[in-house]
Amino acid sequence: MVAERLGRFVVASPAASAWELRAPYLPSLADRIVAQLPASPGDWVLVVHSAAGGAAPAVAAALGGKVRGAVFVDAILPHPGQSWLDTTPPALRTAVAGAASEGVAPPWPRWLPSGALARLLPDPALRADFETECQPIPLGYLVEPAQSEPNWPPRACAYLQLSDGYATEAAAAGRHWPVERLDLHHLAMLTEPDMVATAIARLACGMEAES
């Protein structure tokens, strides 16, 4: 939805779920994303949401340094030396590890309290489509430490906060980058695509003006 509204900007998602990737997971995920992108003579601006923020350096590396900026949308920040699980609150870390079976964690919606997803996505059809897209996740993906990448950070970054849950990340980003806040929720890219796309484009165009 947001990708359609951004027009000349490209928002990429992996061609396969994390379940179909192999270790090392972040480079494998980055290669899948880059394989979807059309050929471009110029540089890219990455748009990353939620846990994908941790993959931004790997994507930049896979693009061979052809990334001039990144917009983090309610996303975690890069965490070299730490795994995704290391970045989460202890209660969530325990819940996810406890829910894993035979090395596989359940899809993300099952991590939420009862009724939480319905409050974020009240439209039943939209919610069903989202749940269908969410796949089981190998525990190895969640515990694999991210690596430092030579092509990170790019020349410009910005942060778009959508929910209170990412206030800490937005505050940390604000020490170095422009930050914009929308009073929405974590999955607002699905429910408020026009508003979110406009904010992303504004931040990305600000990078162009500075370059």
- pLDDT values of the chain reduced to their tens digit, one per residue, 211 residues: 666 666 555 555 554 566 677 889 888 888 888 887 877 777 888 999 999 999 999 999 999 878 889 999 999 999 999 999 999 989 888 888 888 999 899 999 998 889 999 999 999 999 999 999 898 888 999 999 999 988 799 989 999 999 999 999 999 999 999 999 999 999 999 999 999 999 999 999 887 656 5
Q: Which domains does the chain have, with CATH numbers?
A: 2-97+139-210 (3.40.50.1820)
C-alpha triplet 132, 51, 101: angle, nearest 5°: 60
CB atoms within 10 A of CB 82: 13
Backbone angles phi, psi at 57, to 5 degrees: -60, -35
At 3 the pLDDT is 67
Please tell me the distance from the alpha carbon of residue 11 to that of residue 36, in angstroms, as a whole number. 10
Tokens of 88: 């989460």
Tokens of 70: 């990144």
Identify whether the C-beta of residue 186 lies closer than 8 Å to the C-beta of residue 76.
Answer: no
At 17 the pLDDT is 60
At 15 the pLDDT is 47
Question: Can you say whether residue 7 is alpha, beta or left, with left for phi > 0 and alpha for psi between -120 and 50 degrees?
Answer: left
Please tell me the distance from the alpha carbon of residue 16 to that of residue 14, in angstroms, as a whole number. 5
Name the residue type at position 173: A
Please tell me the distance from the alpha carbon of residue 124 to that of residue 202, in angstroms, as a whole number. 31
Q: Which uninterrupted H or E stretch holds 181?
A: strand 179-181
Please tell me the distance from the alpha carbon of residue 160 to that of residue 33, in angstroms, as a whole number. 21
Identify whether the C-beta of residue 127 lies closer than 8 Å to the C-beta of residue 121.
Answer: yes
Of 192, 187, 208, which Cα lies nearest the Cα of 73?
A: 187
Please tell me the distance from the alpha carbon of residue 50 to that of residue 37, in angstroms, as a whole number. 20
